[in-house]
Amino acid sequence: MNLLLIEPGELAADGTARLTARRAAHVSEVLRAAPGARIRVGVVGGRMGEAEVLSSEPSELVLAPRLDGEPPPPSPVALVVAVPRPKILRRVLQAAASMGVKRILLLGTYRVEKSFFASPALEPAAIRAELLLGLEQGRDTILPEVSFRRLFKPFVEDELEALFPEPARLLAHPAPAAPLLGALPGRGPRAVLAIGPEGGFTAYEAQRLEEKGFAPFSLGPRVLRVDAAVPYAVGQAEQWLRVTR
């Protein structure tokens, strides 16, 4: 835990915060922060800074936060990701949040198991919990916006243009002829990045995305799981945007 997150409702009128359960146990047993110690904190959706530990037990932590800093700037990359297996989804959400991605759309495609949409991992509370873990890792306080579209074709035909106006559109796709990202010309300061399921988008799906301006590129000769492909591709896209501006 690189940043202890406090919910806005946990801040008392006197400026202190009382935390229990996982966060209290972590500060007491892992950080071993005694009264008087200072730890990095942030308020979900707000500012960040340091807090003095007033008391620390595994069951309850009392802090006096001083929130005098702003969260880091968001990533310039938005994500459209085919819904992966629930176990992989948790890793994807954490990785994306830790990298500062603020817009994530989880999309149903031909190779996505329809049962995935009924998984408890897609419940709002479960998604939020994973995003918070990612924010703790990345020292950020602003939760990403996560949305869902079960059907590929209506999304691409009717909603994509309005939802993702980013000037650069990138398609991480394991096509043999796809160039490396550095070979693509730059287009603007922001990008939306589409990543398919394990096995990739179908030829039809990839073609429809290309018709909407998504430029295919390769992540290299290796086959990556989605939870590895997402942070790798986001990092490459951020570097590409910096170089091509």
Amino acid in position 201:
F
| pLDDT at residue 219 in the model | 87
Q: Give the Cα-Cα-Cα angle 104, 106, 108 (nearest 5 degrees).
A: 160
Q: Give CA–CA dist 126/146, Å, rounded.
A: 12
Q: How many CB atoms lie within 10 A of CB 149?
A: 19
Is it the case that residue 41 has pLDDT exceeding 60?
Answer: yes
What band does 121 get if pLDDT is binned at 50, 70 and 90?
Answer: very high
Phi, psi of 240 (to 5 degrees): -60, -40
Question: What is the Cα–Cα distance from 48 to 69, expressed in whole angstroms?
Answer: 5
- CB count within 10 Å of CB 46 equals 14
d(CA 7, CA 5): 7
Predicted pLDDT at 199 = 80
Tokens of 219: 């992540």
pLDDT category at 96 given cuts 50, 70, 90 is very high
pLDDT in tens, 213-232: 999 999 888 878 899 999 99
How do beta strands 17-20 and 60-69 pair? antiparallel
Domains, the chain, in order of start with CATH, read 4-69 (2.40.240.20), 77-244 (3.40.1280.10)
Mean pLDDT computed over 187-207: 91
Asked if residues 244 and 237 have their Cβ atoms less than 8 Å apart, the reply is: no
Q: Which amino acid is at 181?
A: L
Cα–Cα distance for residue pair 237/232, rounded to 1 Å: 9
What local confidence, expressed as pLDDT, does residue 153 receive? 97
**Model pTM?**
0.93
Asked if 27 and 39 count as a contact pair (C-beta separation under 8 A), the reply is yes
